[in-house]
Homo-oligomer: A and B are copies of this chain.
Amino acid sequence: MERTTRYSKKREAILTALRQTDAHPSAEWLYQTLKVTHPDLSLGTVYRNLLFFQQQGTVQSVGVVNGQERFDADTTPHSHFVCTCCGAVIDLPKIPMDANLNQAVQSQYGFQVERHELTFYGKCKTCMQSKHFEEDVLS
């Protein structure tokens, strides 16, 4: 039996929120943001729909930052910068991904490569300017 998909107001709201931000939010962020307009939203629903979108290919995880998984509605290949100080995840459209690398790994190692991620780590502008020498939140 094929499992059918039905419309859901919450699901639509979650995807819309994810598409309207470039913050690569966590489940918690989406939950807090959407609770304003959808007071009866449940955190479990956010998690369930994020999983749904990932299986659908609509949304991709950009990894775990500071213990929280972060999501991106832009599934086209692009690299990211992660601030080890504040945890911000920022798109780097000017740093292109090399699609040939997948093939290179595939032929040199014999793996079946689906995609790759290019992620930079360091301090974002805001954190660079902060006079306080605070500890990085990331290892």
Q: Which residues of B contact A33 (CB under 8 A)?
A: none
Q: Is the beta-carbon distance between B117 and A102 smaller than 8 angstroms?
A: no
Q: Is the beta-carbon distance between B104 and A95 smaller than 8 angstroms?
A: yes
Q: Is the beta-carbon distance between A114 and B84 smaller than 8 angstroms?
A: yes
Q: Which residues of B contact A101 (CB under 8 A)?
A: 95, 118, 120
CB distance from A71 to the nearest CB of B (A): 10
Q: Is the beta-carbon distance between A123 and B112 smaller than 8 angstroms?
A: yes
Q: Does A128 lie at the interface of the complex (its beta carbon under 8 Å from any beta carbon of B)?
A: yes
Among A109, A113, A114, chain B packs the most CB atoms within 10 A around the CB of A109
Q: Is the beta-carbon distance between B54 and A139 smaller than 8 angstroms?
A: yes
Q: Which residues of B contact A118 (CB under 8 A)?
A: 101, 116-118
Q: Is the beta-carbon distance between A116 and B117 smaller than 8 angstroms?
A: no
Complex interface bits, A103-125 against B, C-beta within 8 A gives 1, otherwise 0: 01110111111111111111111
Which of B51, B55, B64, B116 meets A120, CB within 8 Å?
B116
**14 interchain pairs (CB within 8 A)?**
A54-B139, A55-B139, A61-B139, A64-B64, A81-B113, A83-B111, A94-B108, A101-B120, A105-B120, A106-B122, A110-B125, A111-B123, A113-B122, A116-B120
Could you tell me which A residues sit within 8 Å of B by CB distance?
Answer: 51, 54-55, 61, 63-64, 81, 83-84, 90, 92, 94-95, 101-102, 104-106, 108-125, 128, 139
